């Protein structure tokens, strides 16, 4: 799958530091989707099938393990993600990566309706040390493009 062809259609949004002088990198993406918000939330909230429903090709496996999931990227990287929040009413999902090179890695997804059968998906990732923003940002871009492709394909298949 070629996710890079979608990269130009992904809109960066402005992140705001909580306190002046923070050095934590924040990677923010707003993804506009031609897909129903309920369908988008269904894919995001199916946390054990992320590799199949949300980012196929970027992730190749997802396993649930208690309050966490273990995801395997296409490049072989395996990451444990603790589930922090899965709020169906707010359509918000938050996880924190555990272990690895980051001393802090937290991400959230929130789904908003954007007109009839359109969705605005906001993905925010915070990471320390901020030097990891480059490689993690690349994964965010690949993931965002894969989401757009997978979620819009589902809608066009109807």
- Taking only the tens place, the pLDDT of each residue in 25-34 is 888 899 999 9
- Rounded to an integer, the average pLDDT of 57-76 is 96
Alpha-carbon torsion (34, 5, 122, 74), positive or negative: positive
Contacts of 84 (CB under 8 A, 6+ apart): 94, 95, 96, 106
CA-nearest of 37, 22, 8, 50 to 121 is 37
Fill in the DSSP letter of residue 155: H
Whether the per-residue pLDDT at 116 is higher than 80: the answer is yes
Question: pLDDT digits over 98-111, tens only?
Answer: 988 889 999 999 99
Q: Which of 77, 47, 74, 76 is nearest to 63 (CA)?
A: 47
Q: What is the DSSP letter of 56?
A: B
pLDDT given for residue 8 in this prediction: 42
Provide the pLDDT for residue 154. Answer: 63
């Amino acid at each position: 799958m070629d996710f890079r062809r979608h990269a130009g259609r992904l809109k960066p949004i402005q992140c705001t530091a909580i306190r002046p002088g923070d050095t934590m990198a924040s990677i923010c993406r707003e993804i506009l989707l031609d897909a129903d918000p309920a369908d988008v939330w269904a894919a995001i909230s199916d946390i054990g099938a992320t590799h199949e429903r949300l980012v196929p090709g970027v992730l190749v496996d997802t396993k649930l393990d208690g309050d966490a999931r273990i995801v395997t990227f296409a490049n072989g990287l395996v990451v444990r993600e603790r589930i922090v929040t899965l709020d169906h009413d707010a359509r918000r999902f938050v996880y924190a990566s555990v272990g690895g090179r980051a001393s802090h890695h937290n991400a959230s997804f929130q789904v908003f309706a954007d007109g009839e059968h359109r969705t605005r998906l906001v993905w925010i990732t915070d990471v320390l040390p901020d030097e990891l923003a480059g490689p993690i940002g690349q994964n965010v871009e690949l993931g965002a493009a894969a989401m757009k492709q997978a979620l819009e394909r589902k809608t066009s298949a109807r």
